[in-house]
Chains A and B, each alone.
Chain A
Amino acid sequence: MTNPLAAIPPEGSGEIITIEQQETAGLSQGAIVRRRFFRHVGAMVSLGVVLLIVIIAFSSVGFNIFGWKIPGWWPYDYTNYFPIERPGGAPTWDLPFSFGSHPFGQDDIGHDVFAQVMRGTQQSIILMVIYGGVSGVIGVAVGAVAGFFRGRVDAVLMRLTDVIIIVPVVLLGAVIGRTYGSLGVFVLALTLGAFGWAILARLVRGEFLSLREREFVDAARVAGASNARIIFRHILPNTAGVLIVNVSLTMSAAILLEAALSYLGFGINPPDVSLGQILAHYQSAFATRPWLFWWPGILLIIIVLAINFIGDGLRDAFDPRQRRMPARPGPYRELAQIIGTPFRRRTSTVAADSPEETRD
């Protein structure tokens, strides 16, 4: 760090400032991470997709908040059944834009599949958020305390983590389902989250163990900072990368977990629906009524895929070591250059820099 200003190109020179250059120009860590994340195409597309799904899922069939029923724009409810329109309840969606009244089809007794799938998506998203929040908070708390104080506290907390990690999740689902069957997704998410923090706690502990030995922690202690202040102000922000990435991946895993539980009959119980439960309920109808299988399945996959991509984008954004090296021109680029050469010769500027590119 001799002179960071030297790296800034003079104003008006017209050069493109890359993020790496701006880093030396003195952007804050948060700004760098944010910019890198926004540049990650997969993550941004996924973010858009998730937002779209959330908006559609919640606005279409409406939702309940503490007894307040907020209606949606979709005319059908997920619990009631309606006269079957097409033989077998086939989708009334004729490509491309003639949706009909039941675009996703109906099941054998006339439930509207679109309403059911939207309700299921809501459940998955609610579960994901609560699970991520609960397991994140407990995991960080346990991991931070264990890693910071070490010694006996660490030993006890880590053994507790071992106990939690080997309790089978299916069992939890069964206990909750039997005891609080009617409370639905909230209780399920809270309980699963209360048992889902073990891996995160181990990671956070590892980070704390290495960070607490660093000089900036010593400096803070010499300056008279309390333990709480060191944990919250000095160490925790430095673990943000590991934390956010893993919580996002845990959240996508939670969706699959709920689906698996519901499939086994231990998750969301009828009459309420979730994506996994729809799939389990109609699994025998796969050959005869494929729309009961494909819609919830595809939606499930899209959500999980999108969350994973967001997690991947966050990982790239938070990893300070990651500088994308320009790829060596592979066969495709070479082919494109050969094909493109006759077109390129017309403009002198592109032809001038093409030998630069082909150089190995």
Chain B
Amino acid sequence: MWSYVLRRVLIAILVIFAASFLVYVLAANSGDPLEELRGSTAPNKEALIAARIQLLHLDIAPPLRYFIWLGGVLKIFIGQLDLGATLTGSAVTTVLSQSMWSTLQLVSIATVLAILFGVSIGMISALRQYSGFDYSVTLIAFFFFALPTFWVGQLLKLNIAIAFNDFLASPQIPPVWIAVIALVAAFVWASAMGGQLKRFAINFGLAGVLTAGILIYVNLTDSIRHPNLGPIWIGIIGIAAAVVITQLTTGLSNRRALFSALTVALLGAILWWPVQFAFYYLAEWWAMFGLLLVALAIGALVGWLWGGDDRGVSIRAAMITAFISSLLVLVDRILGAWPDYVSNTGGRPISTIGSETPGLNGSIWLTSVDSFAHILLPTVTIMLISLASYSRYSRGSLLEVMSMDYVRTARAKGLNERTVIMRHAFRNALIPIATIVAFDLGGLIGGAVITETVFAWRGMGTMFVQALKVVDLNSIMGVFLVTSIFALLFNLLADITYSVLDPRIRVS
């Protein structure tokens, strides 16, 4: 195993050398880095040109200049990585580290959400093969595949964002929309639940009425202007989450697991009051992280106290519920900053450009809302498209697993459907998806070019495109180095995960 990893890493380093040489020569031939200076009218034009030639060693032919750059990269072994200077003279390493951070922010949230939703949608549509839900998901996925990223981005930016901001001026959901949303939700829930006509009709009615009820409640309490969950809703949502989690992990028949999850959900609602003090006095991210750990510990403790013979599953269910409950409490606090933020942005909170409002100073709650308002549209753009592919992959993967002999065996020995799906089929269906996710992550780091350009997000993609336009070689190479290392690293990770998750496959 380790010799395999070592060999792959060595090969990857060689590949990066070859590719970086190719890219360097190509990029050097794509234009003239002195172009803007040649056209300038500055009196010290000659001196500027000479200075830039000296700074970037432009008097040396590109294939040789590559080795100067390579020398800077290799200095990483003596602890002083030098990626050269940009056209304006600042160090590439500093510019790059900033843009890398903002790209990672954007891509990681979008990817996590896309995987979560994509995999669940795909798996449900596999379990309900040839149902209305399945056909709709397939059709929508195909449609999203065909959408050009920049077109979606522009549409969201110039249409949805503006419409939503207009809507926020007087946030009352019109009755027609309530009806439409309720019908769609009813269709999705009823189809996903499956079953014959009677069950379908019951689910359809329940989901529709529930959705419409929530929307009407939102309208009546003016919750869009003053959104907050409060302990009551945290309790209700927490209990629902507890039931769903127990059903998925152990089945509702395991009473101890169910009760530990429910206890944690109730505790979450009760602990809302003391936590508000912590939020007031300890408004820092490390404190939030500490609180999350405390919540998980409480969950584990509750599970341990309830659990009889089978403590492990109770602890697991309780901890997942604790995680969700603490997220709810945090979201509740962040939502509290929303009215303040709306008034700060002149009533148009959803932003279409950049990653933060310049000059906005406030509590971490205000800045979180700010980040959210900025990251929302680019995240949706990236998500929609990768969600489509994840849903297709996971559908195909689960369908293939469900037709395997071991699933039939599991059914034949009398296991209930939940155990068959969650323990036998689901886990094995995740194996190919894990490798695809690893591949995608590697590609996405450098692949958010379009989204970043549309939303003027100052990440690596924008940096790369800008650098290409002015032939800023060192910046191009800096971004390329990071993206290619990520790509090869995740490539390796994909292969290793595969062999770890599926013992039938051996890497050698």
Contact = CB atoms under 8 A, between A and B. Distances in A.
Q: Does A associate with B in a complex?
A: yes
Interface in B122-164: 129-132, 142-143, 145-151, 154, 158-159, 162
Given A163-B18, A175-B26, A301 B132 contact: no
Contact of A170 (B159, B162, B464): B464
23 contacts: A159-B14, A162-B488, A166-B19, A167-B26, A168-B23, A170-B465, A170-B468, A171-B23, A171-B27, A171-B480, A174-B27, A175-B26, A175-B27, A175-B29, A252-B146, A256-B146, A260-B148, A300-B146, A304-B146, A312-B142, A328-B130, A330-B130, A331-B132
Contacts of A332: 132
B384 interface: no
A1 interface: no
B500 to A, nearest CB: 21
Contacts of A331: 132, 190, 195-197, 200-201
B124 to A, nearest CB: 14
Contacts of A41: none
A264 B465 contact: yes
Interface residues of B, number: 51
Contacts of B19: 162-163, 166-167
Contact of A264 (B15, B201, B449): B449
B26 A171 contact: yes
B487 interface: yes
Interface in A242-268: 252, 256, 259-260, 263-266
5 nearest A-B pairs in the assembled complex, by CB-CB distance: A331-B200, A304-B146, A327-B130, A305-B146, A334-B197
B197 A335 contact: yes
A168 B483 contact: yes
Interface stretch (A85-93, A215-223, A279-287, A348-356): A279-287
B22 interface: yes
Contacts of B26: 167, 171-172, 175
A234 B12 CA distance: 34
B487 A178 contact: no
The CB with the most chain A CB atoms within 10 A, among B162, B195, B450, is that of: B450
B154 A286 contact: yes
Interface in A140-170: 159, 162-163, 165-168, 170
Contact of B30 (A162, A174, A328): A174
Q: Which DSSP category, helix, strand, loop or mixed, fits chain A's interface?
A: helix
A263 B146 contact: no
B144 to A, nearest CB: 10
A139 B196 CA distance: 48
A318 interface: no
B146 A301 contact: yes
Interface in A88-128: none
Nearest to B26: A175
A231 to B, nearest CB: 26
A58 interface: no
A304 B162 CA distance: 28
B268 interface: no
Contacts of A162: 11-12, 15, 19, 488
Nearest to A177: B30
A308 B488 CA distance: 29
A179 B27 CA distance: 11
Given A171-B30, A264-B450, A330-B130, 5 more contacts: A168-B446, A279-B154, A328-B130, A330-B132, A331-B195
B31 interface: yes
Interface string B475-489: 010001001100110
Contacts of B38: none
B30 A264 contact: no
B469 interface: yes
B189 to A, nearest CB: 13
A115 to B, nearest CB: 21
Contact of B151 (A166, A171, A178, A279): A279
